[in-house]
Copies of this chain bind each other. A is one copy, B any other.
């Protein structure tokens, strides 16, 4: 793993997003991205395995920070609360000040089914990593997976709202609203299914 270089990564991502907008994801080459960013192909491939990965550069940093927050959490907290606090802290630290570029990145991904599948795969891997981190705190495997999955559902609901042009609230606040909305939804329907 190369050392994380925020300057180069941010420049490559900004250049890539501009080009994907101008000419589409499929027709953009790595050579064009590095030329626009004023960097070399070597630098590009130090950070990203391929053109698709330039859109997912933040994923591994996000995951590392979230797992670190979970490992450091108060042992007495219930698992879902541990994950919600971790997501809130990482939203403040890594996402809130990058709102425009993160929303732009998401719009590019949402417009391309292949990229959306990769995004969903990254989210599933993050869910599994969160569940593993919860199990290391001593929890049951099924409860850990469930807490990780519910938290990631709240994250996705909050993220959709946060990336809308007319939404101004912080991701942390939207996360809290999303969890509350999940609870309201579930409370309205938790009855036995008819046979």
CA distance A79 to B81 in the complex (A): 26
Q: Mark A58-92, 1 if CB is under 8 A from B, else 0.
A: 00000000000000000000111100110010000
Cβ of A146: which chain B residues have Cβ within 8 Å of it? 157, 181-182, 185
Within 108-154 of A, Cβ neighbours of B (below 8 Å) are at 113, 116-118, 120-121, 123-124, 142-143, 145-147, 149-150, 153
Q: Is the CB of B175 within 8 A of A193?
A: yes
Judge if A49 is at the interface, Cβ distance under 8 Å: no
Q: Is the CB of A85 within 8 A of B182?
A: no
Judge if A187 is at the interface, Cβ distance under 8 Å: yes
Judge if A186 is at the interface, Cβ distance under 8 Å: yes
CB within 8 Å for A150 and B149 given contacts A189-B84, A193-B175: no
CB within 8 Å for A150 and B117 given contacts A175-B193, A176-B193: no
- Least Cβ distance of A170 to chain B in Å? 11
Judge if A183 is at the interface, Cβ distance under 8 Å: yes
By CB atoms of chain B within 10 A, which of A88, A147, A160, A194 has the most?
A147
**Other-chain contact of A179, B124, B143, B172, B190 (Cβ < 8 Å):** B190
Query: Can you list 30 A-B pairs with a CB-CB distance of less than 8 A?
Result: A78-B188, A80-B186, A84-B193, A85-B194, A113-B121, A116-B124, A117-B117, A117-B118, A117-B120, A120-B120, A120-B121, A120-B123, A120-B124, A142-B157, A142-B181, A143-B181, A146-B157, A146-B181, A146-B185, A149-B153, A149-B157, A153-B153, A175-B193, A176-B192, A179-B186, A179-B189, A179-B190, A182-B186, A183-B187, A183-B190
